C-alpha cells in the first residue's frame, strides 16, 4: 500500500518504520498546513492515511481526507467531543474512517477485562473504583483517550458510576481519572478497585511505542478498500 502519514512526531516516525518493514511505501508525510498544499496530489493517490497529529488539527485532517476519498486511520486523541458528528459525516458521504484511542492489542484486551470486572463489581459496593494513567511529557491531552475509554467501559457496566472527572471527584457517582505526565513514559493505565480490606488492580504498561505503531499499520491494512466507520473491536473480530 501507499501510505500518507499525518503528523510526524515520535509515533509518526515509528509508524513509518513499521509500515516499511511490512512492505508498504510511505509516499508522503504531512506535518503542517503547507505540507497539505504542496502534496495534495500525492495524498490523493495514497491507499490510506494514518493520523497521529494533534487535537487541534486532527478533525481538519479527517475532513480533508474525506474530500479526496482517502481512507483515514486516526490515533490522535483529545477530539472525541466531535466524534459523533465526524462519524455521521463519514457514513453520509460513504467515506472510510478507523478510530482508536489505543492500537495496542494488549490494551484492547484490557478494555474487555475492564468491562467484565465492572459488571462483577455491581455485586460488591464496598469497593470504589478509580483510574490512573501516566504518559510522557509531550502528550497534549489529559486524560488520555485510553483512560476515557476505560472510564466509559466502567460507566456502561457499573451502576454506581455516571460520569468521569479529571482528578478528585465530589460525588460517589463520579469516576476519577488521575493523569500524570513525566519523562518519556509510553503509557501506563491502571484501574483500581479499593476497599477497607484489599485492593484489586488491572494494569497495562506499554514498554515502547512499537505496539501502538504496529496496531495502527494493521488497522490501515484492514481499512483499505472498505467504506464506513470502524474501531479496534471490528479489527479484533476480523
Residues 224 and 144 in one domain: no
State the cell numbers at 97: 474512517
CATH for 52: 3.40.50.720
Is 135 annotated in the active site? yes
List Cα–Cα distances, 220 to 56, 74, 96, 126, in angstroms.
22, 10, 11, 44
| pLDDT (tens digit per residue) in 168-189 | 888 999 999 999 999 989 899 9
Q: How many whole angstroms separate alpha carbon 28 and alpha carbon 37?
A: 12
Residues 94 and 143 in one domain: no
Asked whether the beta carbons of 219 and 235 are under 8 A apart, the reply is yes
Residue predicted with more confidence, 140 or 46: 46
- Percentage of residues in the chain with pLDDT exceeding 90? 83
How confident is the model over 32-57, as a mean pLDDT?
Answer: 94
Residues 48 and 130 in one domain: no
Residue 132 reports pLDDT greater than 80? yes
Residues spanned by the domain of 17 = 2-103+210-237
Q: Which of 24, 64, 135, 161 is catalytic?
A: 135
CATH for 158: 3.30.360.10
Q: Which of 13, 42, 115, 139 is catalytic?
A: 139
State the cell numbers at 60: 481538519
| pLDDT (tens digit per residue) in 78-123 | 899 999 999 999 999 999 999 998 898 899 899 999 999 999 999 9
| pLDDT (tens digit per residue) in 2-25 | 999 999 998 999 999 999 999 999
Asked whether the beta carbons of 202 and 133 are under 8 A apart, the reply is no
Residue 140 confidence class, pLDDT cut points 50, 70, 90: confident
Residue 69 confidence class, pLDDT cut points 50, 70, 90: very high
| pLDDT (tens digit per residue) in 205-236 | 988 888 889 999 999 999 988 999 999 989 98
Residues 79 and 25 in one domain: yes
Q: What is the pLDDT of residue 103?
A: 92
Q: What is the pLDDT of residue 102?
A: 86
Number of domains within the chain: 2
Is 139 annotated in the active site? yes
Residues 33 and 62 in one domain: yes
Amino acid at each position: 500500500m501507499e501510505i500518507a502519514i499525518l503528523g510526524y512526531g515520535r509515533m509518526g516516525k515509528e509508524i513509518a518504520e513499521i509500515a516499511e518493514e511490512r512492505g508498504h511505501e510511505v509516499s508522503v508525510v504531512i506535518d503542517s498546513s503547507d505540507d497539505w498544499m504542496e502534496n495534495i496530489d500525492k495524498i490523493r493517490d495514497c491507499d490510506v492515511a494514518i493520523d497521529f497529529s494533534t487535537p487541534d488539527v486532527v478533525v481538519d485532517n479527517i475532513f480533508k481526507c474525506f474530500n479526496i476519498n482517502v481512507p483515514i486511520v486516526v490515533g490522535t486523541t483529545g477530539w472525541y467531543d466531535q466524534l459523533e458528528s465526524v462519524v455521521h459525516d463519514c457514513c453520509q458521504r460513504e467515506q472510510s474512517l478507523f478510530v482508536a484511542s489505543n492500537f495496542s492489542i494488549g490494551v484492547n484486551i484490557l478494555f474487555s477485562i475492564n468491562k467484565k470486572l465492572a459488571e462483577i463489581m455491581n455485586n460488591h459496593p464496598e469497593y470504589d473504583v478509580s483510574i490512573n494513567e501516566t504518559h510522557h511529557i509531550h502528550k497534549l491531552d489529559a486524560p488520555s483517550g485510553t483512560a476515557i475509554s476505560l472510564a466509559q467501559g466502567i460507566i456502561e457496566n457499573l451502576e454506581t458510576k455516571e460520569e468521569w472527572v479529571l482528578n478528585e471527584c465530589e460525588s460517589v457517582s463520579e469516576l476519577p481519572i488521575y493523569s500524570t505526565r513525566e519523562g518519556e513514559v509510553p503509557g501506563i493505565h491502571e484501574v483500581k478497585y479499593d476497599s477497607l480490606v484489599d485492593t484489586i488492580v488491572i494494569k497495562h504498561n506499554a514498554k515502547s511505542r512499537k505496539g501502538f505503531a504496529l496496531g495502527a499499520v494493521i488497522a490501515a491494512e484492514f481499512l483499505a478498500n472498505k467504506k464506513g466507520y470502524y474501531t479496534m473491536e471490528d479489527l479484533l473480530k476480523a
